[in-house]
Amino acid sequence: MSELAGSGSRHGDLAGSGSRHGDLVEVAIGIASMAGGGEQVEAFVARGVETEVRAYQGQVEHFSSAASAGVGVRVVKDGRQGFAYAGSLEDDVIAGVLAEARDNAAFATPDEHVALGVPDGVAAAAVEVWDESLGSWPTDAKVEMALEVERAARAADSRVRQVSSADYEDASVEAAIATSTGIAASSRRTVCHVSVSVIAGEGDDSHSGVGFSVGRGPHALDPDRAVADALERATRLIGGTKARSGQVTVVFDPRVTSTLLGVLASSLSGEAVTKGRSLFAGRVGEEVAAPEVTLVDDPTDSRAYGAARYDAEGLASRSNALIERGSLRGFVFDTISAHRAGTVSTASAVRGGYASTPVASCRALALAPGTLDAAGVLKSVGDGIYVQSITGVHSGVNPVSGDFSVGAEGLVIRGGELAEPVREVTVASTIQRMLMGIVAIGSDVEWLPGVAAGQTIAIEAMTLSGT
């Protein structure tokens, strides 16, 4: 996830947004200006404030509040890159980080493609991912939201056995980037999150369900929906059994689809492609998916969790079409992977914070919506399996070979309607076959945490393993 993936004011528009924000850009420019002859220097500085509250049995189980700051410096000289970071913005620490990055550059293999980003003239879109009201929202209200969610989940249904967690979390992150090649950008973002995990059951049979609501500020949150979602997901699995093995049409709920698109994102990274580590390498222009499939990465869409005015190298974010009507159009690139591929950056650099270097990645993937709502997708399928959650994505999905095998739980679909619950099964195929096998895409686009939106989709001819 990109820490810079937040929007904010362009450098120079910062008046009134608080001196701390301005300081970050100055710090970054100060470091970049220390570049010596024949050397490029990039400074990424970030600062964040977070709150986390967990409620349990009517009390606050923990309350955590924290501020952190850090700097990451890249130095490129003679085609060699070096990197260093520290979790501090003190002057002497910064000097040490720059010296370390310079030293580290000497050990890299010279590579003509290695360079920092340069301004490309693309104007930044208006992306709004900062909610000013978060800063003035009282702590008591945050605590009360966690307590209320826990209380509501416990009281909602007699089959609820436990509310194993009820959390409120928020974060405000400010970041700035400057390079000796002319980049100077800053961004800021807020995010609020309320989530609840319930265990519901009858007799020996227990199931868990997680519900959440995410927004830029507290007023965007819908705690009632989080509770209702957790309850529905846990209670509808009660009595679930293994299903019979065989070939089935699988309908994935929006959250699962978002996870699947996240896996696809790693195969669409220009870095993976140029290094021959993607099942899409060398396939631009080919039919890689069903004709209904159009996939776009658009971090300028403020609704997206990963929306940001700039990428992690300080270039203005832009919309990139990756698959159009089933045909592979291209990939996302940062500066180095673009050079390697003989193209230009798509402003798709992300970094995991000040402690890591940028890599090319999707930030705001979404499938073009179809015409059917979720119920319509089920009807169109007739018989199959509805999967509400999957496990083992990191162990069972290989974005290089395309092999796909995950644990699943959900409900049987019979006659176009949801029927009895299913648990402890796997669904398997290959990513290549799944993309070609998409038979319905829902209109129910939902922006979820992570790099992709979710919506209901149906994929035919997957292998279900049960009994």
Partner 1 sequence: MSKGVALGEPLVDHDVVERVIGAALRHGGDFAEVFAEDRKGTSAGFDDGRVEEVSTGRDRGAGVRVVVGETTGYAHTADLSESGLLAAAEAASTVARGRGGSRVVSLDSGSSPAKLSPGNRAPGKRAPGKRAPGGAGEELSGAAVAGALVDPSTVPKVRKVELLQIADEVARSAGGAVVQVSAGYADTTRRVLVASSEGAFAADTSVRTRFSVSVVASGDTGMQTGYETVARSVGFELFDAESVEEVASQAARRALAKLSARPAPSGELPVVLASGSGGILFHEACGHGLEADHILKDASVFAGRLGEQVASPLVTLVDDGTLGGEWGSFAVDDEGRPAARNVLIENGVLTSYMWDLLRARKDGRSSSGNGRRQSYRHLPMVRMTNTFLLGGEGDPDDIVASTARGVYVAKLGGGQVNTATGDFVFGTTEAYLIENGRITEALRDANLIGNGPEILERVDAVAGDFSMTPGTCGKDGQSVPVGCGQPTLRVSAVTIGGTAGE
25 or 146: whose CB is closer to partner 1?
146
Q: Which is nearer to partner 1, 273 or 453 (CB)?
A: 273
Amino acid identity, residue 94?
Answer: I
Q: Rule CB under 8 A: is residue 60 a binding residue for partner 1?
A: yes
Only segment of 19-27, 254-262, 276-284, 367-375 that touches partner 1 (CB under 8 A): 276-284
Instruction: Please classify residue 246 by burial: count the beta carbons closer than 10 Å to its beta carbon, then call 0-12 exposed, 13-18 middle and 19+ buried.
Output: exposed
Site for partner 1 (CB under 8 A): which residue of 266, 302, 343, 398? 398
Burial class (CB in 10 A: 0-12, 13-18, 19+), 1: middle
For partner 1, the closer of residues 225 and 242 by Cβ is 242
The 10 Å Cβ neighbour count of residue 91 is 10
Helix ranges restricted to H, 350-454: 374-381, 393-396, 431-436
Among 33, 65, 133, 241, binds partner 1 (CB under 8 A): 65
Count of residues in contact with partner 1, rule CB under 8 A? 81
Residue range at the interface with partner 1 (CB under 8 A); choices 14-22, 152-160, 306-314, 396-404: 396-404
Residues 426-465 touching partner 1, rule: CB under 8 A, are 426-430, 463-465
Residue 262, φ and ψ in degrees, nearest 5: -60, -35
CB-nearer residue toward partner 1: 125 or 427: 427
**Touching partner 1, residues 318-357 (CB under 8 A):** 355, 357
Taking alpha carbons only, the member of 420, 413, 427, 421 closest to residue 380 is 413
Q: Which residue, 369 or 449, is less far from partner 1 as judged by CB?
A: 449
Which of residues 61 and 373 has its CB atom nearest to partner 1 in the complex? 61
b/e string for 281-314 if b means 16 or more Cβ within 10 A?
eeeeeeebbbebbbbbbbbbbbebbbbbbbbbbb
Note whether 269 binds partner 1 by CB under 8 A.
no
Query: In the complex, what is the shortest distance from the CB of residue 277 to partner 1, in angstroms, rounded to a whole number?
Result: 6
Q: Which two tokens stand for residue 166?
A: 């009820």
Binding to partner 1 by residue 111, rule CB under 8 A?
A: yes
Shortest reach from residue 412's CB to partner 1, in Å: 17
Nearer to partner 1, 93 or 263 (CB): 93
Candidate segments 18-26, 54-62, 257-265, 325-333, binder of partner 1 by CB under 8 A: 54-62
State which of residues 70, 223, 314, 442 lies at the interface with partner 1 (CB under 8 A).
Answer: 70
Q: Are strands 160-179 and 184-202 parallel, antiparallel or unpaired?
A: antiparallel
Nearest distance, CB of residue 466 and partner 1, angstroms: 7
CA–CA distance, 182 with 120 (Å, rounded to integer) = 10
Q: Is residue 238 a contact point for partner 1 (CB under 8 A)?
A: no
Question: Hey, is 367 helix, strand or coil?
Answer: strand
Asked whether position 69 contacts partner 1 by CB under 8 A, the answer is yes
Q: How far is the CB of 211 from partner 1 (least distance, A)?
A: 15
Nearer to partner 1, 12 or 392 (CB): 392
- Binding-site member from 16, 121, 203, 276 for partner 1 (CB under 8 A): 276
Contacts to partner 1 from residues 74-103, by CB under 8 A? 81-88, 90, 92-93, 95-97, 100, 103
d(CA 303, CA 310): 15
Please write down the HEC assignment for all residues of 29-47.
HHHHCCCCCCEEEEEEEEE
Residue placing its CB nearer to partner 1 in the complex, 189 or 233 = 233
Sign (positive/negative) of CA torsion 301, 306, 309, 313?
negative
Q: In this chain, which of 261, 410, 423, 458 binds partner 1, going by CB under 8 A?
A: 423
Distance in Å from the first CA to the final CA of the chain: 38
Q: Is 241 in the site for partner 1 (CB under 8 A)?
A: no
What does the alpha-carbon distance between residue 198 and residue 430 come to, in Å, rounded to a whole number? 33
Which residues are CB-neighbours of 111 under 8 A, at least 6 positions away?
A: 79, 80
- Of residues 402-421, which lie at the interface with partner 1 (CB under 8 A)? 402-403, 405-407, 409
**In this structure, are strands 59-77 and 80-86 parallel, antiparallel, or unpaired?**
antiparallel
Q: Cβ 284 to partner 1, closest distance in Å?
A: 17
Q: Is 133 in the site for partner 1 (CB under 8 A)?
A: no
Assess contact for 284 and 328: CB atoms under 8 A.
Answer: yes
CB 440, min distance to partner 1, A: 22
What residues between 280 and 309 interact with partner 1 by CB under 8 A? none
